Amino acid sequence: MNIDFPLILLSIVVFSGVVVLCDFVFCVLRRESFFEKKKRPWIIEYSRSFFPVLLLVFVIRSFVIQPYRVPTSSLAPTVTPGDFILVNQYQYGLRFPVWNKKIWPIGEPSHGQIALFFYPVDHAITFVKRVIGVPGDHISYINKTLYINGEKQPITYVGKVTTFTDFGQWVTYQKYQENFMGIKHDIYMRADAPARDFYNLEVPPGKYFMMGDNRDDSDDSRYWGFVAENEFIGHALLVWMSWDAQASHWYEYIRWHNIGNRL
C-alpha cells in the first residue's frame, strides 16, 4: 500500500465521519438534539469540529484542484524546480483518489497539455510532463525535432542559457521555441547530448507519449514507455508560487516573474 497524502486524508475523513455518524445515531436514539451546544468527549468533539473541514478539503483536492510542487527541471524552462502549480483534477475525468478510478468521464489529455500522472514504473511517484502523442499518433524524433503524423513541429533558436541542473552542476542549454501543434513554448536542448532519433513510433490505444521540455535532461516516455489513460491525475493550469531554494539572497527566493504563468 502506498501511504501518501490522499490516503492519509481519506483515512482521517472516514474515521471522523464514522464517529460523527455514530454520535448522530446516539442523539436520535436518546432523542437529543444533534446540534445542542454542550461538552462532549474529546474524540467526538474533535470529529464534529474537523470532519466538515476535512471533507471539504478532500472533495476540493480530489475533484476540483490541487497544488503540486515541481521537484525537477525536466519541464524547464516552462516549469522550473520549486514552482508550485495548480492542477485541474476533473479535466481528464473525475477520479476517486487512492484507487484513481474514473467515476465520471469528462475529457481526455490532448496535444501540448502539461499533465500530472503517476510514474508508470512506481505509482508512489508523481510526474509532470507535456503530452506529445495521443492514441493513434505516429511520432518521429529526428535531429531533436518532433514530427507528429509526419508533420514537422518547427523549432526556432532563441539563445543560450546557463543554469543549475538538478545535480547542482552548471550547464549551458540551447533555448528554442517550439511550435507544437499550434502551442508555442520554450524548450531546452544540450549541444553535448546525442539526438537519439526514432522513427514512426505508434501510440497504442488508451496510451499517451509524454516528454519534458528539457529534452536532453528529462526522464520521460523515451525511457519507460507510454502512460496509460488511467494513470493521469490532472491538467496543470498555472504557476501560483515559485521558490528558488538556490538563490543567493533572501529577496531572490521568490521568482516573481514565474508566478501566474499559465501552462
Partner 1 sequence: MKENTRTIIASVVGLVALAVLLLFVPRVLFPVCGIFLPADIAAHPAISANQVNLVTEAPTAAFQTLGEIRAEVAYNALSDDVRDAVISKVKSLAANAGANTVVVNVLVPGQGARTVLTFIGTAIAA
Q: Which residues bind partner 1 (CB under 8 A)?
A: 1-2, 7, 10-11, 14-16, 18-19, 22-23, 26, 40-41, 43-44, 47, 98-99, 120-125, 140, 196-201, 221-226
Phi, psi of 82 (to 5 degrees): 95, -5
Q: What's phi and psi for 116, nearest 5 deg?
A: -95, 135
- In the complex, minimum distance from the CB of residue 263 to partner 1, in angstroms, rounded to a whole number: 25
Whose Cβ is closer to partner 1: residue 19's or residue 57's?
A: 19
Contact 104, 91 (CB under 8 A): no
The x, y and z cell numbers of residue 173, run together, are 542549454
CA-CA distance, 232 to 109, in Å (whole number)? 8
Q: How far is CA 118 from the centre of its chain?
A: 9
- Measured in residues, the chain has a length of 263
Contact between 229 and 248 under an 8 Å Cβ cutoff? The reply is no
Q: Rg (Cα) of the chain, in Å, rounded?
A: 23
Residue in 47, 62, 73, 74 annotated catalytic: 74
Catalytic-role residue among 16, 47, 73, 129 = 129
175 is catalytic: no
According to DSSP, residue 73 is labeled S
Q: Looking at beta carbons only, is 38 or 257 nearer to partner 1?
A: 38
Smallest separation, CB 119 to partner 1 (Å) = 8
CB of 208 to partner 1, least distance (A): 12
Q: Considering beta carbons, is residue 100 or 261 the nearer one to partner 1?
A: 100
Q: Is 129 a catalytic residue?
A: yes
Q: Minimum distance between the CB of residue 105 and partner 1, rounded to whole angstroms?
A: 21
Q: How far apart are CA 9 and CA 259, in angstroms?
A: 28
Of 53 and 142, which has the nearer Cβ to partner 1?
142
Q: Which residues are catalytic?
A: 74, 129
